[in-house]
Each structure stands twice: as C-alpha cells, then as structure tokens.
C-alpha cells in the first residue's frame, strides 16, 4: 500500500500514533482508514456536504483515491450509485473536486499527523467506541473524523452533556449565571460542553473544572494551538481532565467560517443547548440556531431588559421558542425533555398566592371578620355573600382551627 507516495509502514506508524485506542495494534486497513479520514479533515472545510456524501458512499479511502487519482466525474458518479446514499449532482461534484484539489498536498497531512502525535492528540473515527454518535444527526454535514486531546471519560459523557454558551462580551450578571449553571450541572454529574471563548464560555469551563466535573471544549482550529491564546492555560487543563475537540487537523487556524461550523458540533454533540447571556448579534445565537435545526432542546437565560447583553437571549425566547431557564433544575428539565410539561391548572396561580392555600369560602369569612369588633353570623353572611348555613359551617371550622373566636356579641378574628 502506498498513499501519497508514503510506504505502508510509514502510514501505519503515523496512524498508530494518533489512533483512538492508545498503544493498540493498527493493521493495514485500519491505518489506511485513519490516514484517509485525517486527510479529509484537512481537504474539506467543516460542514462540506459533498465530502460527507462522497465519504459515506465510497468510504474514506476510496473517496480519497478518487481525488488523488483524478477520477472522472462520471466514474465517481457510477461508483457512488451502488451505495444507498443520496447521489450528489455531477455539477456539485465537479465544483467540489475543484475546491479540494488545491488542498491535496501530502506533506500537510503528514505534518498534521506528526504534530498531532507530538501533542498527544488522537483521531477519533465514527467506528470508535468514544465517537459522539449524536453528531451523526448532522448527516452529510457531520464531521468525517474528530481530533481530540483529553480523556475518554469526557467523550463518553457527551451523550448526556449540556452545552452552555454565550457572548464574549459578558457582564458580571452573565458570568455569575455561567458559574452557577456550570457548577450546578457538574454537581449533578452532568458534563458541560462549550466553545472556550472569552466571556461566558470561559466562565462555564472554569466553573466545571472548579467543581471537579467533566467539560468538553470544541475549537474552530487545530487542537495543537489553543485559541484564544489567553485561554491557553485553561484549555491545557481541559485537555488534561476533560477534552478539547476539533474537526480540523493540527496547524489549522480558526476562521470565522470555522467558528460557525464549530458551533454545529457544540449543538449536535450535546443533549440540549442553553444560551447563558448573548447580545442581539452574538455568535452564540448561531449555536442556538444549530441546536434548533438538529432538534435539540434550546434554552436561554433571561436578564434585565435594560441590558443589551441579554437581548439575544430574549430574542431566542420570543422568536425561536427557546425555553426560559432560570436555574440548574430547569436546565436539567430542559435536557430531559420535560420542560413545560408540568403545566398546572391555570387559575391556580395567584388564587393560591393570595389566599395562603385556604379554601375560598374560609378566605371570604376571614375577610369579613374583624379582630376588634364582634360580628353576628347574619352580619358575616351579608358581608361574605354566603348563606347563613354556609357561614355557620365555615365559622365553626375556623373556630376549630383557632382562626375565629365566638363571644357573646358574636364572632371575632383571632389576632395573629
């Protein structure tokens, strides 16, 4: 086997170094798969649906071969047609080959693999046991492989994790809420996904680390060079006790486009997404939109209307049906799909509140009694608008409860 002019043992060595199962034997076909998927993470931009469809149809190795060997579009179409995957239009395939070709540089794949081995990053494939299979909900827009620095436990916790995201320009209120929710989820054993940005994201990760919980950071660039650089130490700690994940190979710089695509991984890999604090045009609203589009429950933390930093959260609640969440319990309710289910009979509210849970007729009789002046039963009946009989019954009940006292001149309310 030769790929990109590399000898089989070279490919196998590189592949073994980044294999998901550290120290495991990697046979030739496994190595080819690892190498091909690693190459694809550098050739196709995140979210490239033609790459996703081609890899699904032909497998990563044959898909790479079709590109390296410059198959005709006709041949690719024929080979794809035997798979069950929806066919890609020849025109789109041609455009895709055109945009992939400039990136078909064997040295960059090799460099990315070597750099990954150097920083102990591993390449997780869809077949691996730690693959977060929820991202497969993205279909052909899903990742072809994931580069990871971290512990298996963090990846394994993703199927029950919650994403907490928010704006870089956070207020003290927003950071307080990020801390509350991050720590609260950790304390309940729920792992927390975020994007490692300044502001809300950073506070989320920090609060989880402080609580000894599991946290996963998805990056928009390679996992070898942490971004933002001010979070280098933070990301280093996450890589030690949690996981730092990216679909881009080592050496890839983050770009605006990649931030937007990274957001879809945050949304898809977790059970629910909560926007903690976000202005009207915060990038975290994009994560929220991804969560909604892959059918994940979406929550937003409200804030003062007078704070522009909460305007995005309010917009999500108003226009995008995000659930208003105000506590850790409510985040967990959201994630377990129970939000809003516990609806009570509507007229209960307020009635309870105002009457301290007393039955309405007792409230009416108590209202009609005075602490100072005694009133006859007839007078109380008139004041309450109840019958004499009903009034007598309720007065007797209130007397038993010690709330009303009967004297010679009539009934009085017990002083409290």
Work out how close the CB of 30 gets to a second copy at its nearest, in angstroms, rounded to a whole number: 27
Which tokens is 173 given?
């209120």
Q: Is 337 in the site for a second copy (CB under 8 A)?
A: no
For 195-319, strand residue ranges (E) read 215-218, 243-246, 272-277, 298-300
User: Which one of 381, 394, 398, 404 is in contact with a second copy (CB under 8 A)?
Assistant: 381
Distance of CA 63 to the CA centre of its chain: 31
State yes or no: residue 343 binds a second copy (CB under 8 A).
yes
Radius of gyration (C-alpha) of the chain in whole angstroms: 31
Of 24, 127, 233, 342, the one binding a second copy by CB under 8 A: 342
348 binds a second copy per the rule CB under 8 A: yes
Q: How far is the CB of 184 from a second copy (least distance, A)?
A: 12
- Cα–chain center distance at 38: 26
Return the residues of window 256-315 that contact a second copy according to CB under 8 A: 256-257, 259-260, 263, 281-290, 292-293, 301-306, 310-311, 314-315
Binding flags for a second copy, 51-90, as an x/- string (CB under 8 A): ----------------------------------------
Q: What gap in Å lies between CA 130 and CA 398, rounded to an integer?
A: 65
Site for a second copy in 172-231 (CB under 8 A): 173, 176-177
The answer to the question of residue 323 lying near a second copy (CB under 8 A) is yes
In sequence order, the 6+-apart residues with CB closer than 8 A to the CB of 37 are: 55, 60, 123, 125, 144, 145
The nearer residue to a second copy, 206 or 258, going by C-beta atoms, is 258
Q: At residue 273, what are phi and psi to the nearest 5 degrees?
A: -120, 135
Q: Please list the residues that pair with 243 across neighbouring strands.
A: 150, 216
- Count of positions on this chain that bind a second copy (CB under 8 A): 83
* Under 8 Å between Cβ of 155 and 178: no
Residue 94 or residue 117: which is nearer to a second copy going by CB?
94
Closest approach, Cβ 20 to a second copy, in A, equals 25
**320 near a second copy, rule: CB under 8 A:** yes
Which of 352, 371, 396, 409 lies at the binding interface for a second copy (CB under 8 A)?
A: 352
**Helices within 211-359 (DSSP H only):** 232-241, 256-269, 284-293, 311-319, 328-335, 348-355
340 touching a second copy, by CB under 8 A: yes
273: left (phi over 0), alpha (psi -120 to 50) or beta: beta
Report which DSSP code applies to 231.
G
**Least separation, in Å, of the C-beta of 117 and a second copy?**
23
Task: Tell me whether strands 192-194 and 215-218 are parallel, antiparallel or unpaired.
Answer: parallel
Which listed residue (74, 187, 367, 401) binds a second copy by CB under 8 A? 367
């Amino acid at each position: 086997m030769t790929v990109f002019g590399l000898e089989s043992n070279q490919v196998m060595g590189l592949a073994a170094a980044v294999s998901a199962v550290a120290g495991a034997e990697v046979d030739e076909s496994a190595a080819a798969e690892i190498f091909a998927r690693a190459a694809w993470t550098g050739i196709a931009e995140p979210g490239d649906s033609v790459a996703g469809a081609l890899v699904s149809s032909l497998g990563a190795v044959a898909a790479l071969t079709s590109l390296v060997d410059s198959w005709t579009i006709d041949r690719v179409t024929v080979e794809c047609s035997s798979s069950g995957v929806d066919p890609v239009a020849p025109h789109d395939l041609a455009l895709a080959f055109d945009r992939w070709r400039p990136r078909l540089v064997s040295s960059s794949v090799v460099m990315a693999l070597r750099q990954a081995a150097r920083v102990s990053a591993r390449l997780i494939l869809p077949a691996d046991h730690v693959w977060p299979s929820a991202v497969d909900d993205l279909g052909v827009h899903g990742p072809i492989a994931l580069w990871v620095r971290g512990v298996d436990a963090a990846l394994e916790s993703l199927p029950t994790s919650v994403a907490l995201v928010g704006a870089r320009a956070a207020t003290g209120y927003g950071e307080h809420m990020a801390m509350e929710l991050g720590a609260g989820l950790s304390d309940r054993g729920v792992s927390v996904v975020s994007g490692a940005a300044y502001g809300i994201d950073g506070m989320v990760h920090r609060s989880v680390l402080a609580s000894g919980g599991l946290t996963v950071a998805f990056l928009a660039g390679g996992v070898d060079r942490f971004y933002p650089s001010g979070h280098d130490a933070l990301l280093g700690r996450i890589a030690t006790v949690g996981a730092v994940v990216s679909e881009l190979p080592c050496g890839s710089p983050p770009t605006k486009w990649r931030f937007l695509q990274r957001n879809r991984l945050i949304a898809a890999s977790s059970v629910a997404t909560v926007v903690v604090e976000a202005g009207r045009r915060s990038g975290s609203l994009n994560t929220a939109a991804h969560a909604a589009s892959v059918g994940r429950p979406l929550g937003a933390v409200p804030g003062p209307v007078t704070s522009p930093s909460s305007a995005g959260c309010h917009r999500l609640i108003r226009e995008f049906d995000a659930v208003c969440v105000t506590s850790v319990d409510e985040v967990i309710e959201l994630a377990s799909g129970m939000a809003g289910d516990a609806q009570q009979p509507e007229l209960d509210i307020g009635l309870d509140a105002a009457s301290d849970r007393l039955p309405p007729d007792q409230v009416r009789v108590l209202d009609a009694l005075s602490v100072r002046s005694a009133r006859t039963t007839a007078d109380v009946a008139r004041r309450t608008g109840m019958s004499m009989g009903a009034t007598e019954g309720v007065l007797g009940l209130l007397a038993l409860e010690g709330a009303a006292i009967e004297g010679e001149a009539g009934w009085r309310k017990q002083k409290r």
